C-alpha cells in the first residue's frame, strides 16, 4: 500500500536544495522506471491552484468534464508498476472511479489504436491499460463501456495486432471498429475544423476517457492527449496537418474529456508516430493522469522531448482558449512509487 506523508507546498520528496519545483517534477518523470522500486511512497505536491471556470459550451461542444475538487489533485504520476497497477493507483490518487463514472453512464474509452503494431513497439496504447479502465467502469456501474478509435492503418489489423481488441473484449467492453455508416457531419465550430465527419460513438457518450500513449511525432515532436482526438474524425485527416496546431486546438475545444490517462509504460522516443524499431522504445513503467489535458501534454512533452509551449504552439493556444494551463508545476499533483 502507498504511504502518504505531508509535504510543504511546492516540495518534492528528496528534492535537492535549490532545485525548483518545475525542475523536480521533470526530473521525476525523466527518471521513469529508474525511480521505481524504492518503496511505496506517495505524496502530495500541494500547490493547489484555481482552475478557470469554463464558459458555457457552444451547442456543438462535447463537454464531458467533471467539477474540480478542492481536496483532490489535478494530476497524478504513478511509477514502477505493471499497467493495471498504474491505472488502479492513478484512479485512487484522483479520487476513485466513482468520481468520474456514474451508474448507467455510457462510457467511451479512446485509446490510440492507429497503427498495425504490437504492444512492444509502443505505437498504440498498452492493451492492459485499456482493459483495466474497462473493468473500473463496469465496477462503477456503467451501462455500456465502448472501446473505439478511427485507425490510420487497416482497422481490423490495428485492433487485433495492438492486442486491444482481445483485452477489451475479455474485460467485457463493446469494441467498435470504424464503419463508414457510423460517421455524422458535425459543425465543430473551429477555426480549421468546421463541418467534419465525426465517429458517432463519440457524439453519444455520457463520459469519455482519453487514453493516449506518449510518442514522438515527426510533425509536432510529440503526440499525446490532444493529438489523440484525431481518432474521432473521418474524412481526409491528413489535410489537417497543414495547420496542425490550430486543428489540435479546435479538436481539444470540441471534445472535452472526463479524464485523461497518458500511457507512459513504454514510450516511443523516436521515429513516431508509427515506430516499428524496438530500439526507439524505452520502458518507463509510468502513468500520468488527470483532469487538465493541457497541463498533462505540457508536462510529458517537456519531460521526454524537452518541448515547451514555444515549440508546441497548440499548448499555449489551448491555454488561451481556457482549456487548461501550460504551467503544470502550479497544479496540485500526487505522486506514487510502486515497489
Mean pLDDT taken over the chain? 89
Mean pLDDT to the nearest integer, 136-159: 98
**Could you write out the three-class secondary structure of the chain?**
CCEEECCCCCCCCCCCCCCCHHHHHHHHHHHHHHHCCCCCEEEEECCCCCCCCCCCCCCCCEECCCCCCCCCCCEEEEECCCHHHHHHHHHHHHCCHHHCCCCCCEEEEEECCCCCCCHHHCCCCCHHHHHHHHHHHHHCCCCEEEEECCCCCCHHHHHHHCCHHHHHHHCCCEEECCCHHHEEEEECCCCCCCEEEEECHHHHCCEEEEECEEECCCCCCCECCCHHHHHHECCCHHHHHHHHHHHHHHHHHHEECCEEEEEEEEEECCCCCCCCCHHHEEEEEEEEEECCHHHHHHHHHHHHHCCCCCCCHHHHHHHHCCCCCCCHHHCCEEEEECC
Q: Residue 48: is its pLDDT beyond 80?
A: no
Antiparallel, parallel or unpaired: β 195-199 and 183-187: antiparallel
> Predicted confidence band at 9 (pLDDT cuts at 50, 70, 90)?
very low
pLDDT at res. 17: 60
Mean pLDDT of 83-93: 98
pLDDT at residue 164, as a whole number: 98
Domain that holds residue 234: 25-49+60-337
Distance CA 319, CA 315 (A): 6
14 within some domain:
no
In a domain, 323, yes or no: yes
What confidence score (pLDDT) does residue 14 get?
A: 52
Rounded to the nearest 5°, which phi and psi values hold at 11? Answer: -95, 145
Residue 189 lies inside a defined structural domain of this protein: yes
Interatomic CA distance for residues 165 and 8, integer angstroms: 44
Cell 511505496 belongs to residue: 40
**Quick check: 199 pLDDT over 90?**
yes
Per-residue confidence (pLDDT) for residue 128, from 0 to 100: 98
| Domain tally, the chain | 1
Q: What angle do CA 35, 128, 106 make, to 5 degrees?
A: 120
Give the per-residue pLDDT at 31: 82
| 139 part of a folded domain | yes
CATH (domain of 127): 3.40.50.11440
Q: How far apart are CA 334 and CA 339, in angstroms?
A: 17
Average confidence (pLDDT) over 159-176: 98
| Average pLDDT of the segment spanning 222-231 | 97
Average pLDDT over residues 254-272: 98
Tell me, yes or no, whether 10 lies in a domain: no
Whether residue 15 lies inside any domain: the answer is no
Q: For residue 140, is it within any domain?
A: yes
Q: What is the mean pLDDT of residues 284-303?
A: 98
Look at residue 313 and tell me whether its pLDDT is greater than 50. Answer: yes
Whether pLDDT at 46 is above 50:
no
Nearest to 137 by CA among 166, 95, 169, 106: 106
What integer is the mean pLDDT of 7-15? 47
pTM value > 0.75: yes
Residue 11 inside a domain? The answer is no
For residue 303, pLDDT over 90 is answered with yes
**What pLDDT is stored for residue 339 in this prediction?**
75
Amino acid at each position: 500500500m502507498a504511504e502518504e506523508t505531508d509535504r510543504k507546498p511546492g516540495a518534492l520528496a528528496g528534492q535537492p536544495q535549490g532545485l525548483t519545483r518545475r525542475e523536480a517534477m521533470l526530473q521525476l518523470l525523466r527518471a521513469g522506471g529508474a525511480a521505481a522500486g524504492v518503496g511505496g511512497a506517495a505524496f502530495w505536491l500541494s500547490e493547489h491552484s484555481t482552475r478557470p471556470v469554463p464558459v458555457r459550451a457552444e451547442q456543438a461542444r462535447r463537454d464531458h468534464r467533471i467539477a474540480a475538487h478542492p481536496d483532490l489533485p489535478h494530476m497524478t504520476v504513478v511509477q514502477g508498476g505493471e499497467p493495471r497497477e498504474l491505472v488502479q493507483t492513478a484512479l485512487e490518487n484522483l479520487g476513485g472511479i466513482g468520481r468520474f463514472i456514474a451508474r448507467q453512464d455510457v462510457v467511451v474509452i479512446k485509446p490510440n489504436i492507429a497503427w498495425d503494431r504490437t504492444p512492444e513497439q509502443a505505437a498504440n496504447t498498452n492493451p492492459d491499460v485499456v482493459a483495466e479502465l474497462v473493468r473500473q467502469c463496469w465496477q462503477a456501474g456503467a451501462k455500456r463501456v465502448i472501446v473505439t478509435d478511427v485507425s490510420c492503418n487497416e482497422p481490423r489489423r490495428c485492433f487485433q495486432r495492438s492486442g486491444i481488441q482481445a483485452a477489451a473484449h475479455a474485460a467485457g467492453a463493446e469494441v467498435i471498429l470504424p464503419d463508414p455508416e457510423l460517421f455524422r457531419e458535425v459543425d465543430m465550430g473551429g477555426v480549421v475544423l468546421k463541418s467534419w465527419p465525426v465517429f458517432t460513438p463519440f457524439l453519444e457518450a455520457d463520459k469519455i476517457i482519453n487514453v493516449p500513449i506518449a510518442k514522438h511525432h515527426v510533425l509536432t515532436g510529440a503526440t499525446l492527449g490532444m493529438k489523440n482526438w484525431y481518432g474521432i474524425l473521418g474524412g481526409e485527416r491528413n489535410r489537417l496537418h497543414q495547420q496542425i496546431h490550430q486543428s489540435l486546438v479546435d479538436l481539444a475545444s470540441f471534445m472535452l474529456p472526463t479524464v485523461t490517462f497518458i500511457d507512459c509504460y513504454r514510450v516511443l522516443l523516436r521515429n513516431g508516430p508509427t515506430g516499428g524499431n524496438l530500439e526507439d522504445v524505452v520502458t518507463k513503467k509510468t502513468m500520468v493522469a488527470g483532469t487538465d489535458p493541457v497541463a498533462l501534454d505540457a508536462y510529458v512533452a517537456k519531460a521526454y522531448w524537452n518541448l515547451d509551449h514555444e515549440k508546441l504552439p497548440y499548448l499555449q493556444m489551448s491555454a488561451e482558449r481556457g482549456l487548461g494551463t501550460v504551467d503544470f508545476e502550479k497544479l496540485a499533483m500526487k505522486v506514487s512509487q510502486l515497489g
